[in-house]
Homo-oligomer: A and B are copies of this chain.
Amino acid sequence: MSVNKPLLIWCNAFRSKASEMLLVRGLEEYEVLFDGTGPTGIPSNVNVIFGHPEPERLLQLDQIEWVHIDSAGYTPYDTPRVKDFLLKRGIPLTNSSAVYSEPCAQHLLAAMLVLARQMIPAVKTPGEWSQQELRRKCHLLRDQTVLILGYGNIGKRLVELLQPFGLRILAARRTVSQPMPGVELIPLSALKTHLGEVDHLVNILPENESTRRIVDRDFLRRLKTGAVFYNIGRGATVDQSGLIEVLEIGHLRACFLDVTDPEPLPANHRLWTAPNCYITPHTAGGHETEFIRLADHFLQNLSHWVRGENLIDRVF
């Protein structure tokens, strides 16, 4: 970082009044520009970005030193051009994974439990007491195999939350790093041999060229009959027509989607009426303290950055 002139920080991060005040106070010693009108109006002498800059504009910034994204997903920057630009200049890209891993993991466990316990059919019709029918359909999360696709921070937190259930957990990611207790790590390339063992397929994959439509009809058909599919990664990683087919033939017991392609999902889309398909409107990361935690996380990372320390949630 440059020490002779104050840093210029540009911020279009999602925020509330309270979180903006937090940022204003925390960034007093820097020059800060807030831009609520769009990601392209970034001044050319910017040093640090907190938010979601337009990727093409990013490539034009020759004084940029660090980019901190205000989401866990970073698809727009996961392209050869952006990656190349950042890596060549040694510009770190960090995301807000630490903010979103907790709500997303809790949302996933909620989805697993709400389907196992038949809660949506139970509360659907107030006044109806279908006790025996529902009891027979209720399941336990127990003696089953979970496969996590895209094993990053959210997946790791989910594994912690699932620990007391005593399930078998498989996890797959592009690059298999060090093992973790209670999880069998497998490379994405070896996936297909394991699909027949899977009762719960948890998709947390980011969207990029290698993941687009990776979960297709054939992939889902290979899962154990009666398996459940959950997606809180990105909608485009799934072949939605294939998913609807597999739900219609009853091969899957249910699916739970927090992400779709496109978003918002049009009101007349077939997913809304596919059998046993439950959808939350991309709310997995939401929580009442979201904007405060986003601002806190950036400020904490900034204090690391100005001291030359390792950054949290570095993507590349």
Contacts and interface: CB of A to CB of B under 8 A. Distances in A.
Interface stretch (A99-107, A169-177, A204-212, A300-308): A99-107
B272 A126 contact: yes
Contacts of A289: 140
Nearest to A135: B286
A83 interface: no
Given A119-B110, A120-B120, A140-B289, A127 B267 contact: yes
A288 interface: yes
Contact of A117 (B129, B164, B283): B283
B288 A139 contact: yes
Nearest to A286: B135
Interface stretch (A34-42, A47-55, A273-281): A273-281
Interface residues of A, number: 56
A132 to B, nearest CB: 9
Contacts of A128: 267, 281
A290 interface: yes
Interface in A122-159: 122-123, 126-131, 134-142
A287 interface: yes
A114 interface: yes
A8 interface: no
Given A113-B114, A116-B110, A268-B127, A142 B281 contact: no
A160 interface: yes
A135 B279 contact: no
A16 to B, nearest CB: 9
A126 B287 CA distance: 22
A109 interface: yes
A225 interface: no
Q: Which of A114, A117, A264 has the most CB of B within 10 A?
A: A117
A103 B164 contact: no
Given A123-B279, A137-B286, 8 more contacts: A117-B280, A117-B284, A123-B278, A130-B281, A131-B263, A131-B281, A134-B280, A135-B287
18 contacts: A106-B141, A107-B138, A110-B119, A113-B113, A114-B114, A118-B280, A123-B278, A123-B280, A126-B273, A127-B267, A130-B281, A131-B263, A134-B280, A136-B286, A138-B286, A138-B288, A139-B287, A161-B164
